[in-house]
Amino acid sequence: MPETSATRVAVIGLGAMGLPMATHLAPAFPVTVFDIDAGRRAQLAAAGAAEATTPAQAAGNADVVLLAVRDQQQVEAALFGENGAAEALNTGAVVVLTSTVGPDAARETAARLAESGARLVDAPVSGGPARAGTGDLLIVVSGDEDSLDAARPVLDRLASTLTEIGREPGDAQALKAINQLLAGVHIAAAAEAVAMARALGLDPATVIDSLSKGAAGSFMLADRGPRMIEAYGDGAEVRSRLDIFVKDMGIVAGIAKQAHVPTPLASAAQQLYLLGERAGLGGSDDSSVVTLLSPKEAQR
């Protein structure tokens, strides 16, 4: 067990990413957690963390507050809503924003926190829940040097790859948006490949295994491909909800429009995720999008 750091950490949001991140932080730091789900709080208490019943209570004694919520609406509620963390932050405390919310939202959040003397480190994460639980995440960060130094023990505990991209909140969100553009397009492409394999009477598992080893391979084909096959059975375990890509591809579309950059592939992928959400798949694993292109009953 690692020696416990003196850095006091609050984790707000114990969802698919927040829960394993908090679990991995608990042996190394004094950790206080908040989530609206009391069962998740209890799970972290069993792992050695302290429970809080409001974001303000969680943040009141923290040096670093890790936000792991779904979207900007939840960020605002956690920080600035009733019993929000911002009202209890110590002067100089650092808020680490791990959610994907877009550059403008990160900059606005940083400005509001600065009014209370707190600082924001923009640190969206990638890698999924399993890697979050082992400290193997890809994290891109931006913020001023002092804030990054204050947050670094926590970031180093969570990340195997930590990339500094700029000194202003929003810079890391911009890079994460590019990451999500690629990830969203790659999942859609993998779904088309699996759908075509089924239509041609080929074994999708053999196709995925073969192509993943060659020039056509991608992380998403190797990772989501097998889960797409599971989608035709009882459904894949939910590791990344489809509606997360509805949100993230919407962020990509907004940034592209502002920058006057055409993104036809990202736009097509966005429509596929929107169709999936409309079909009731929003809470399913994003691999389930394959069933829109090749319904379960459509195999040759």
Confidence at residue 1, expressed as pLDDT on a 0 to 100 scale: 43
What is the tally of helices (H) and strands (E) in the chain? 13, 9
Confidence at residue 76, expressed as pLDDT on a 0 to 100 scale: 97
Dihedral angle computed from the Cα positions of residues 140, 142, 144 and 147, in that order, rounded to the nearest 10 degrees: -50
Phi, psi dihedral angles at 178 (to 5 degrees): -65, -40
Average pLDDT, the chain: 95
pLDDT higher than 90, residue 2: no
59: which residues sit within 8 A by CB, 6+ positions away? Answer: 10, 12, 65, 85, 86, 88, 89, 93
Mean of pLDDT values over 78-106: 96
Q: Is residue 213 flagged as an active site residue? A: no
Confidence at residue 282, expressed as pLDDT on a 0 to 100 scale: 97
Mean of pLDDT values over 222-240: 94
pLDDT one-digit tens code per residue, 6-43: 899 999 999 999 999 999 999 999 999 999 999 999 99
Superfamily of domain 174-298 in CATH is N-(1-d-carboxylethyl)-l-norvaline Dehydrogenase; domain 2 (1.10.1040.10)
Confidence at residue 167, expressed as pLDDT on a 0 to 100 scale: 96
Domain spans of the chain, in order of start: 9-169, 174-298
The pTM score is: 0.92
Q: Is-contact 248 100, C-beta < 8 A?
A: yes
Confidence at residue 296, expressed as pLDDT on a 0 to 100 scale: 83
Count Cα neighbours of 256 within 13 Å in the Cβ-side half-sphere: 18
Query: Which one is catalytic: 176, 213, 257, 296?
Result: 176
Question: What CATH class does 9-169 carry?
Answer: alpha beta
Could you tell me if residue 170 is left (phi over 0), alpha (psi between -120 and 50 degrees) or otherwise beta? left
In the chain, % of residues over pLDDT 90: 94
In the chain, % of residues over pLDDT 70: 98
pLDDT higher than 50, residue 204: yes
d(CA 247, CA 260): 20
Mean of pLDDT values over 52-79: 97
pLDDT one-digit tens code per residue, 266-293: 999 999 999 999 999 999 999 999 999 9
Give CB contacts under 8 A, 24+ apart, made by 266-272.
266/181, 266/184, 266/185, 268/188, 269/184, 269/185, 269/187, 269/188, 269/245, 270/184, 270/246, 272/188, 272/191
d(CA 141, CA 95): 12
Mean of pLDDT values over 144-162: 97
Mean of pLDDT values over 45-51: 96
Confidence at residue 224, expressed as pLDDT on a 0 to 100 scale: 97
Q: Is-contact 121 151, C-beta < 8 A?
A: yes
Indicate the length of the chain as a whole number.
Answer: 300
**Unique residue bearing structure tokens 């002067």:** 91
